[in-house]
Amino acid sequence: MKTIPISAKGFAEFVLAGPSRKATIVRNILKPKSKEAQVIVLYYARAIRIIRLYHTKGNDGGYLKHEIHGLEKKLEAATTNQARAGLRNNLRAIRSYMDIYGNRKRKIVPRPRIYYTHGRVRLSASPDLAVEEDGRLKLVKLGITKEGDNPELVRIMLRVIYQAANAEYEVQPHDVVYFDVTNAVRRRSSTEDSDLATTIDNGCDTLAGMV
């Protein structure tokens, strides 16, 4: 039978959704990937590229200053609200990240393409950023927490990423981090979230039954 692909975030939204919203998510899964979905995937591409090269260049402050100035100039020249919002959020992601991690020695490693599979459902769990620090692999997901967002969404998403990574790499739950660029808050997966393993598998069964 055909595999059902869905992102970790989309799956977390499905698990927490009511019946009507669940049906909408299923309809979106059945459609070919839209241009809008591709834009979302690449939303933080600028910030991630700059962060990666900043660490690769040995935490080069001159490079960082030059790149931020370039984004600021693009923001000044942007003519649409969507373009301005994207540039502002990428700038905010860079500054928030640097406030916490800017002085830490991190080795950038290739971003692993990882999946958690249960039955016919395959959850895409690739992080936005992968680094090696103190000999440990750490996986980072960037995002924006909006007012009214259910905190369980991030908790489920992080657990999916951890379970996918743990099948191939030596990682601990606390090595999987969600970085909220809105307020520079870090949320980590936890060993106490092991109860979510059943929730995730049950969610996959429910999703498979609706597709």
pTM: 0.83
Is residue 97 exposed (0-12), middle (13-18) or buried (19+ Cβ within 10 Å)? Answer: buried
Which residues face 179 on adjacent strands? 142, 186
8 contacts 123 by C-beta, under 8 angstroms: yes
Rg of the Cα atoms in the chain = 18
124 contacts 7 by C-beta, under 8 angstroms: yes
Max mean pLDDT range (17-26, 103-112, 140-149, 201-210):
201-210
Phi, psi of 120 (to 5 degrees): -85, -10
Domains of the chain by residue range: 4-32+107-210, 45-101
Q: What is the pLDDT of residue 91?
A: 94
Q: How far apart are CA 182 and CA 143, in angstroms?
A: 8
Q: What is the pLDDT of residues 71-116, one digit of tens each?
A: 999 999 999 999 999 999 899 989 999 998 998 888 989 989 999 9
Q: What is the pLDDT of residue 19?
A: 92
Q: What is the pLDDT of residues 163-185, one digit of tens each?
A: 999 989 989 999 999 988 777 78
Q: How many CA atoms lie within 13 A of 184 on its CB side?
A: 11
| Confidence tier at 40 by pLDDT (50, 70, 90) | very low
**Is the per-residue pLDDT at 145 higher than 50?**
yes
Three-class SS state of 48? helix
